[in-house]
């Protein structure tokens, strides 16, 4: 059995036509024999729209949303409610047996308050992952769609969706962890996608300032996940259902694969 975790973000969360196209391809993948897939999502655009209703100022520090109790309620309602059920509804209409859950369910993600120089409120740091519910759903023929809202003993926590997806992939010992966003992959000095990467190559590219900015923590986190047991991480842009199928089956690489 091939175990795959896919995380979606970027314009897929904004462009309805692109999202529908992706979900069609995703549904086709779940129908392939011997492949089990879990989908992890964020939902920044929808969160921003709903938080605007609170008339509360939104602040980001180092890319993380400062999450007050009022904002946390809206974040959880949006991600685990509206966004999650929208994705499930669309997948069911495509004959994909999807079921929507969050990291709170079955304590998939257990988190503590993230320790930082500035108080970020209810932003969490995942300290343990329990993949049993995902495995049970797979065993029963369901495809999990997972919101990154995480369990805390006294309160839920808002966790970065990339981080949550990566932690789930590690816990499942996934064969592939696929990040689908607006970034086509890791780019070289000529802005061409680098097909294959490993730790020495990444270190060299960072030293040469070819890998810069937000891609640095992304590839460094990827290497950490590889060291913890992941077999491969794919950083890809969205093209078509056919490209997604080729990426997963190994027929063709349309992004950057870190091994």
Instruction: Report the catalytic residues.
Output: 7, 10, 44, 162, 218
CB 179 within 8 A of CB 256: no
* Helix runs in 60-188, H state only: 69-76, 84-93, 132-139, 161-171
Backbone φ, ψ for residue 79 (5° rounding): -75, -55
Residues 181 and 218: their CA atoms lie apart, in Å, by 12
CB count in 10 Å sphere of residue 259: 12
Residues 80 and 78: their CA atoms lie apart, in Å, by 6
- Categorise residue 250: left if φ over 0, alpha if ψ from -120 to 50, beta otherwise: left
What length is written for the chain?
A: 259
* CA-to-CA dists, residue 90 to 19, 46, 61, angstroms: 10, 17, 33
């Amino acid at each position: 059995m091939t175990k795959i975790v896919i995380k979606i973000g970027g314009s897929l969360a904004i462009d309805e036509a692109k999202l529908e196209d992706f979900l069609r391809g995703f549904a086709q993948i779940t129908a392939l024999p011997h492949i089990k897939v879990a989908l992890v999502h964020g939902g920044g655009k929808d969160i921003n729209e709903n938080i605007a209703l609170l008339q509360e100022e939104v602040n980001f520090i180092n890319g993380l949303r400062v999450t007050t109790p009022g904002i946390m309620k809206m974040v959880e309602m949006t991600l685990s409610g509206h966004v999650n059920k929208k994705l499930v509804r669309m997948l069911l209409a495509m004959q994909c047996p999807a079921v929507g859950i969050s990291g709170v369910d079955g304590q998939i993600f257990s988190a503590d308050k993230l320790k930082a120089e500035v108080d970020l409120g209810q932003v969490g740091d995942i300290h343990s992952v329990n993949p049993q519910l995902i495995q049970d759903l797979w065993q029963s023929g369901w495809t999990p769609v997972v919101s990154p809202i995480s369990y805390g003993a006294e309160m839920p926590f808002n966790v970065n969706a990339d981080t949550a997806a990566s932690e789930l992939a590690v816990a499942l010992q996934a064969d592939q962890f696929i990040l689908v966003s607006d970034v086509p992959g890791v780019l070289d000095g000529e802005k061409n996608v680098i097909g294959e990467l490993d730790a020495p190559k990444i270190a060299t590219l960072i030293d040469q300032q070819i890998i810069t900015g937000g891609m640095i923590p992304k590839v460094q986190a990827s290497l950490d996940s590889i060291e913890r047991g992941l077999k491969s991480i794919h950083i890809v842009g969205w093209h078509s259902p056919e490209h997604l199928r080729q990426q997963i089956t190994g027929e063709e690489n349309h992004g950057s694969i870190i091994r």
